[in-house]
Amino acid sequence: MNTFRRIGKIAIGIVIAVWTLLPIYNMLLIALDDDAAEYSGNIFPVEWSFESFQVVWSQDYWYLEHFWHQFGNSCFIGFTTMVVTVSIGSLASFALGRMRWRYSWVFANATLLTYAVPASFLAIPFVSIMHRYGLSDSLWSVVIAQAMFATPYAILILRQYGCLVPLELDDAARVDGATPWQIFQRIYLPLMAPALVAVGTYALLLAWNEYLYQFLLLSSTESMTVAVALDQFFDSDEAPWNYMMATAIVYAMPPIATYYAMRHYMVAGLTMGGVKG
Amino acid sequence: MRGACRRFASRTIGSQGTELAWIAAFLLPYIAVLLAFLLYPLAWALWLGSTPSLYRELIDDPRYFPTALNTIVYVGIGTNVTMFMALLLSGYFMDRNRWIKGLLVLFMLPWALPAIPAFVAWHWMFVGRFGFANSLLEQFFDIEGPIWFNSYVLALGIDIAATVWKWMPFWTLIFLAGRMAIPQEIYDAADVDGAVGIRRFSYVTFPILGNLYFVCTLLSALWSIGEYSGVFFVSGGAPAHSTEVLATYGIHTAFTVGDPPLGMAAMISALPLLVPLTILLMRRVRANEVQL
């Protein structure tokens, strides 16, 4: 019975690993192929060719001319979204979770509504509104869109985590004459640090990985991000797919590294936000 | 939403007025963002799509109804498969074995990947006659694979599979967190009463996780109604635009064809699907105080 279970577990594990890795392996296979034109149908790379990574690194192909600049833009969007989300989210969660206000539940429910608006549905009016604000082709327009979608999640997680910080601390500070801002700055923020890291990482990944808003809002070479640049490969019929895959792999590295570095915080964040049902 | 932790013991120091002013100040940035970048665009969208003739135009487009139907199939099958598999897998990952823990780290990879590489990888697995999938079939099973994206059913199936692949890890993690929050004592008690295996799942685990499962399914359905990359980069609508969903149809009508009002109308036509899901979600979350 016991060996039976063991074999079952191992079998399930292998199925999960194969399912997860096959598409990723296929990416590597194409990137390592030195023939640009056609996928050769090999299951294993005939010979390892790192040429395509070399090309990406040295920006040696005309689609990739500005690769590192675009990479920088992606970084800017990711980090700024993180900062904006954490700032707005922590302020709002403090007001909703730790101050007395009879109608805070109305507001908390309104944040849930934001959850329910699919991002692609808002995209069409968002683009024309950004035009009206004079933010078209600006990295900030993408930052604002991503921060807006990440903030409701941030508020929910932060409120939940905030329950672990005793309210008596706030009371004591108030008796000593602290203003709400001082409580926020000196008590709330330091004690909430782990949850803030989780929420910030979530926002960073969301902004880095998203495609549609970057594609619709950014068009000039100056403001383009890696995601938009990757999309250009599809415009051409004879694009070198090995370069495209190599670019995609380089582009995928930062979020993967971030996730693995921060995963303990993120899992803790999810656990906090997860059911206490 | 959970009624937070416990009601406030703190008494307001100073007048109610200053307290309210502070609350307003703390909420101001978020409210400003919501008004300027969510409500204004939403109102604009509804205004754009408020001309009745747009909907006549939609109905006259022979591609519209297949697209709407695809959306229902894509969301209906995709979401349910994702959530059900995630629930089962979260049970598997409860195991304390360190190999299984390591596997969980690997399993999260698709979720951490950016949308484009993830979905393009799926496209490439099945593209043409000699895609990676077909090479595998030929090498291991000596079968000549089909040309996947020439068949409507297979193409839509691959869209669904790719979306499941990308989003299942996230929900598995949420369910895993939910399972970990169940106190061991409950299982011990169930053990004494003789509930093991399937019965333990159906009488103990599922009743506790049921509400979370329901709420997550609603959220996942709402999000996959708006999923753009999962269709655009995988099948790209192939064969001949037959596998488009409302999200890709709407965006393309608005920006490639250059008719934003019609694109918006296509999106708005999903409201009969979105609104009930949203209402259900809000009621569920309020009634049962589940926190997500």
Q: What is chain A's Cα-based Rg? A: 23
Residue B129 to residues A40, A238, B123, B126, Cα–Cα distance (Å): 11, 17, 13, 8
Partner residue opposite B292 with nearest CB, options A21, A156, A252 = A156
Place of tokens 């399914």: B217
Work out whether the CA dihedral B180, B214, A108, B4 comes out positive or negative: negative
Two structure tokens written together for A53? 């990574």
Q: What residues in A contact B286, CB-CB < 8 Å?
A: 109
First and final CA of chain A: distance in angstroms? 34
Distance (Å, whole) CA B292 – CA B287: 14
Partner residue opposite A274 with nearest CB, options B41, B122, B181 = B181
The confidence score (pLDDT) of residue A276 equals 39
Give the amino acid at A112.
L
Shortest Cα distance from A23 to chain B (angstroms)?
Answer: 5
Nearest CA in chain A to B258: A124
Nearest CA in chain B to A45: B132
Place of tokens 């191992």: A10
- pLDDT tens digits, residue range A127-174? 989 989 988 889 999 999 999 989 988 888 888 788 778 888 888 888
Partner residue opposite A277 with nearest CB, options B173, B212, B267 = B212
Q: What is the mean pLDDT of residues A219-234?
A: 86
pTM given for the model: 0.88
Residues B3-31: b if buried by 16+ CB within 10 A, e if exposed: ebbeebebeeeeeeeebeebbeebbebbe
Two structure tokens written together for B261? 């009002």
- Cβ atoms of B49 and B264 within 8 Å: the answer is yes
Place of tokens 């949420």: B174
pLDDT at A59 over 80: no
- Cβ atoms of A159 and A97 within 8 Å: the answer is yes
% of chain A exceeding 70 in pLDDT: 90
pLDDT, greater one: B211 or A105: B211
Mutant choice from A71, A94, A121, A160 vs B, greatest count of B C-beta within 10 A: A121
What is the number of alpha carbons within 13 Å of residue B247 lying toward its C-beta?
A: 26
Task: Give residue B290's pLDDT band: very low, low, confident or very high (50, 70, 90).
Answer: very low
To the question of domain B53-288 being in CATH 1.10.3720.10, the answer is: yes
pLDDT at B9 over 60: no
Q: What residues in A contact B116, CB-CB < 8 Å?
A: 211, 227, 230-231, 248, 251
Nearest CA in chain B to A5: B92
- Cβ atoms of B132 and A39 within 8 Å: the answer is yes
Which domains are delineated in chain A?
A: 2-49 (no CATH), 63-273 (1.10.3720.10)
Q: Do A129 and B114 touch (CB under 8 A)?
A: no
